[in-house]
Structure 1
Amino acid sequence: MLRLRDISFADATTLLSRYDLQLQRVADDASIPGSYWGDCEAGLIGATVHARGDTPVHSLLHEACHLIVLPPERRSAVHTDATDSVEEEDAVCLLQALLGDMLPGVGRARVLADMDAWGYTFRLGSAAAYFERDADTAWAWLVERGLVAADRTLRLPG
């Protein structure tokens, strides 16, 4: 599983900053503030994603995507759990893979493989199969919010 320590922290910080989010590095021996799952999983407080060097990149991206899909005025109220609905959760799974393509040395295929290794489950048996063949509703959800184009490409802010 690809970890934050395996990629450029600066690249991850820059990507999140495009969405007006902050990435806060947590000391390796400290607990991660706002982590829903605990252990090494990323945490959320306001517009900040908290992560350690051992945080899986897919976890960092997943939690960041929960903030990205929220209207900016709602971000300040977030602490630990940002999910609004099953539809949002499904869309976040797609968006995190798309953001993987924006990080050098990561890519969508790695994010999807790491999601499988972590234990995400999908009807068709893998995150990649969901992404490619079973997520029409989630794609539509992202298109409606202007986060992806109709051709399913990522729309970056600014």
Structure 2
Amino acid sequence: MKKKIVSVLVDNLPNVMTRVASVLGRRGFNIDTITVSSTGNPDITRITMVFNVEEEVADQIVAQIAKMEVVKSVSVLNREKTLYRELLLVKVNAMPDQRDSIKNIVEVYRGSIINLTTTSLVIEVTGSPEKLDGFMDLMDEFDVVDFCRSGVTAVERNLQTDHGLE
């Protein structure tokens, strides 16, 4: 199985995300992550979902969503032609003698320490899900109190003007 990113443009109306998720849940599809955001058009909302499924199942998911009247478009994004990011916030209990080690890891992952107290710190890291998984693997040696991940948000690259800036 492979992670599939599905992008859906829907009418910006109450309960639309719930309706999309319900259609998928009733058919036994498990959503790994889901994010919802506004677009440049105030009448349209973007729903980005990640599924851990085979290609055929991703096609079934797209077909089920496409049947809904509130859906304007739905597609499985090509990961090579898509920019995608996720946000991670991590709260770590850390004594002063551990902070340099943590700070070094945060710098390598281009993260930020956004809150610092005498006993803990909160770290923010953005990047691909794989990058965040790697960061969390390194945080295992510390006392992680809590963490939260936003889920993937994605947009297709404009290949005519892409200069590879990430």
TM-score, structure 1 as length reference: 0.25
Higher RCO, 1 vs 2 (CA within 8 Å, ≥6 residues apart) = 2
Structure (1 or 2) with the greater strand fraction? 2
Structure (1 or 2) with the greater helix fraction? 1
